Structure 1
Amino acid sequence: MVTLQPIAPQDIEAESFRIIEHELGTTDCTPEEFAVVRRIIHATGDFSFAETLRFHPQAISAGLAAIRSGKNILVDVNMAASGVSTGLLARFGGRVICRIAEAETAAMAKANTTTRSDAAISRSVADNIGIVAVGNAPTALLKVMELIDQGLFNPDLVIGVPVGFVNAAESKEILVRQPYPFITTLGRKGGTPVAVAAVNALLRLA
Structure 2
Amino acid sequence: MYIQKPMEIENKSMDIIDESLKDVNFEGLDLQIARRMIHTTGDVDYRHIISFKNNFSAQALEAIKNGGTIYSDTNMIIAGVNKPALAAASCDIITLVSDKDLAAKAKERGTTRSLIAIEEAVHRGIRMFAIGNAPTALFRLIELIREGKCDPLFVIGVPVGFVGAAESKEELRTVDVPQITTVGTKGGSNVAASIINAILYENNRQDIYATK
1:19-38 alignment runs, 5 A limit: 19-38=16-35
Give the one of 159, 167, 170 matched to 1:170: 167
User: How many residues get paired?
Assistant: 203
CA contact (8 A) 1:63 1:130 kept: no
Aligned residues: CA RMSD:
1.4
Letter in 1 for 2:48: E
Paired with 1:69 and 1:20, the residues of 2 have a C-alpha distance of 31
Matched, 1:84 2:81: yes
Give the one of 10, 13, 20 matched to 1:16: 13
Change (3 A) 1:136 1:111: same
Paired with 2:59 and 2:124, the residues of 1 have a C-alpha distance of 18
Paired with 2:199 and 2:90, the residues of 1 have a C-alpha distance of 15
Matched, 1:205 2:202: yes
Unaligned runs of 5+ in 1: none
Paired with 1:29 and 1:64, the residues of 2 have a C-alpha distance of 16
What is the aligned partner in structure 2 of residue 150 from structure 1? 147
What is the TM-score of this pair, normalised by structure 2? 0.90
Matched, 1:159 2:156: yes
Paired with 2:23 and 2:127, the residues of 1 have a C-alpha distance of 31
More displaced 10-residue stretch of structure 1: 49-58 or 18-27: 18-27
Letter in 2 for 1:152: K
Paired with 2:3 and 2:185, the residues of 1 have a C-alpha distance of 36
What is the TM-score of this pair, normalised by structure 1? 0.93
CA contact (8 A) 2:3 2:9 kept: no
CA contact (8 A) 2:131 2:158 kept: yes
Paired with 2:188 and 2:161, the residues of 1 have a C-alpha distance of 8
Paired with 1:18 and 1:57, the residues of 2 have a C-alpha distance of 29
Give the one of 176, 181, 205 matched to 1:179: 176
CA contact (8 A) 1:63 1:157 kept: yes
CA contact (8 A) 1:86 1:96 kept: no
SS of structure 2 residue aligned to 1:184: strand
Paired with 1:47 and 1:154, the residues of 2 have a C-alpha distance of 33
Unaligned runs of 5+ in 2: 204-212
Matched, 1:6 2:3: yes
What is the aligned partner in structure 2 of residue 49 from structure 1? 46
Matched, 1:71 2:68: yes
CA contact (8 A) 1:162 1:192 kept: yes
Letter in 2 for 1:66: A
1:147, distance to aligned residue in structure 2 (A)? 1.1
